[in-house]
Amino acid sequence: MFDNPAFDEHERVLFCRDPETGLSAIIAIHSTALGPAAGGVRQWSYASDEAAIYDVLRLSQGMSYKNAMAGLRFGGGKAVIVEHDGFASSDALYARFGEFVDTLNGAYITAEDVGMTPAIMQTIATRTRYVTGLPAADGKAGGDPSPKTARGVMCGIGAAVRHRLGRDGVNGLRVAVQGVGNVGYNLCKELAQSGARLFVADIDRDRVQRACEDFGAEAVELDDVLFMDVDVVAPCALGAVLNRGSIPRLRAKVVAGGANNQLETADDGRRLADAGILYAPDYVINGGGIINVACEYYGDVDDAGVMALVEEIGPRLTGIFREADQRGEPTNIVADAQARRLIAAAGSAKASSE
Q: Could you please report the per-residue DSSP string of 275-289?
A: TT-EE--HHHHTTHH
Pairing of strands 12-18, 37-38: unpaired
Percent of residues, the chain, with pLDDT higher than 70 = 99
Q: Are 152 and 228 in contact (CB under 8 A)?
A: no
65 vs 124: CA distance, rounded Å:
26
Q: Are 196 and 170 in contact (CB under 8 A)?
A: yes
Q: What is the pLDDT of residues 15-35, one digit of tens each?
A: 999 999 999 999 999 999 999
234 vs 185: CA distance, rounded Å:
12
- Residues 104-121: what's their mean pLDDT? 92
- Of 257, 184, 252, residue with least CA distance to 214: 184
- Residues 315-344: what's their mean pLDDT? 97
175 vs 132: CA distance, rounded Å:
32
203 vs 193: CA distance, rounded Å:
24
Helices 146-165, 313-327: axis angle to 10 degrees equals 40
141 has a pLDDT exceeding 80: no
CATH 3.40.50.300 fits 146-286+315-339, yes or no: no
> Which range is least confidently modeled, 69-83, 98-112, 210-224, 338-352?
338-352
Q: What is the pLDDT of residues 287-301, one digit of tens each?
A: 999 999 899 889 888
**How much is the pLDDT for 164?**
98
End-to-end CA distance of the chain: 29
- Residues 107-125: what's their mean pLDDT? 92
For 186, 257, 281, 342, the CA distances from 69, given in Å and listed in that order, are 23, 17, 11, 8
264 vs 316: CA distance, rounded Å:
23
Predicted TM-score (pTM) of the model is 0.90
CATH number for domain 12-65+74-124, candidates 3.40.50.150, 3.40.50.10860, 3.30.70.3450, 3.40.50.300:
3.40.50.10860
Same fold: 12-65+74-124 with 146-286+315-339: yes
**How much is the pLDDT for 78?**
97
For the chain, the domains span: 12-65+74-124, 146-286+315-339
54 has a pLDDT exceeding 80: yes
Rounded to the nearest 5°, which phi and psi values hold at 64? -60, -45
* Amino acid at the residue 140: K
**How much is the pLDDT for 354?**
65
310 vs 8: CA distance, rounded Å:
28
Express the helix, strand and coil content of the chain in percent, nearest 5 each. 45, 15, 40
Of the pLDDT bands very low, low, confident and very high (cuts 50, 70, 90), residue 50 is very high
Pairing of strands 37-38, 218-219: unpaired
Annotate 57-97 with three-state secondary structure. Answer: HHHHHHHHHHHHHCCCCCEEEEEEEECCCCCCCCHHHHHHH
Q: What is the pLDDT of residues 159-198, one digit of tens each?
A: 999 999 999 999 999 999 999 999 999 999 999 999 999 9
The DSSP symbol for 110 reads: B
H or E segment to which residue 215 belongs: helix 205-215
- Residues 336-351: what's their mean pLDDT? 89
> Average pLDDT over the chain, rounded to whole?
94
Q: Are 202 and 208 in contact (CB under 8 A)?
A: yes
> Which range is least confidently modeled, 8-12, 211-215, 224-228, 344-348?
344-348
Q: Is residue 298 packed enough to be buried (19+ CB in 10 Å), middle (13-18) or exposed (0-12)?
A: middle
90 has a pLDDT exceeding 90: yes
Residues that are catalytic = 78
176 vs 220: CA distance, rounded Å:
9
